[in-house]
Amino acid sequence: MRLIKLTFMAIAIVGLTSLVSYSNTGTSKAAMMEQRTNSDWKGTESFSLTSAGPNVARCGAFPENIELTFSGSGIDTEGGLFNVNASACTNTTTNEIFDLKATDTYLQSGDQVFIEADSFVQVINPANCVATNSHAVMGRVAGGTGGHAGATGHARFHFANNLTPCNGQNAPAHVWFEGVAMLP
């Protein structure tokens, strides 16, 4: 009698396990709905300075403030490989970076995402010529094109770049981030 009860219990457990497994795979519709939100958005990119000069209307008085433009490439979990074009203003007295905007263009789809970052002050370590943010910098997704039109989201960014005047070395700046990207 005990053996029969045990057998029934084992069969019931196997049945329940199968049911749970089936239910999990059966919720593909719900999973698809959630695919519009990438809560594991992360990526890394590198870029080089392409120009620096006055833009009083955008950045303020020159020469205290200058506009910088960058281009580079990277990869993220939202669209894969991308090229990036970015520009920012910087206060050469305080080392504040402000009005930083970037456009990432995915190589595979041609879609773009527009990024805007909070202002931050770079901390310079003269011992190793690295300029970096002391705290994570908040950035927002401000729309895009193609499959990323109307995209929103936010992320925390880190920057690290070599100061050429400090050591005479040219090297790309690196940026990496983690956050959430959402499609409408």
Partner 1 sequence: MRITKLTLALLTLAGLVFVASYFGGQSSKAATLPDDRVNAHWKGASMLTPTSAGPNPARCGSFPENIEVTFSGSGIDTGGGIFNSAASTCTNTTTGRIFDLKATDTYQSGDSIFIETDPFTPVLNPATCVSTNSQAVSFRVAGGTGAYAGATGQGRFHLASNDPACNGLAAPGRVSFEGVLQLAQ
Q: List residues binding partner 1 (CB under 8 A).
A: 40, 42-46, 73-81, 94-95, 107-108, 123-130, 132, 134, 158, 160-162, 167, 169, 171, 173-176, 178
Closest distance to partner 1 from the beta carbon of 44 (Å): 4
Residues 6+ apart with CB under 8 A from 52: 66, 67, 68, 69
* 75 φψ region: left (φ > 0), alpha (ψ -120 to 50), beta (else): beta
Q: Which is nearer to partner 1, 55 or 71 (CB)?
A: 71
Nearer to partner 1 by Cβ, of 55 and 83: the residue is: 83
Q: How far is the CB of 75 from partner 1 (least distance, A)?
A: 5
Residue number with CB closer to partner 1 (21 or 167) = 167
Q: Which is nearer to partner 1, 101 or 174 (CB)?
A: 174
Rg (CA), the chain: 24
Distance CA(79)–CA(174), nearest Å, equals 19
Beta pairing class for 112-117 and 37-53 = unpaired
**164 φ, ψ to 5°?**
-55, -45
Please report how close the Cβ of residue 184 comes to partner 1 at its closest, in angstroms: 18
Q: How far is the CB of 40 from partner 1 (least distance, A)?
A: 8
113: left (phi over 0), alpha (psi -120 to 50) or beta: beta
**Least CB distance to partner 1 at residue 58 (A):** 24
Q: Which is nearer to partner 1, 74 or 153 (CB)?
A: 74
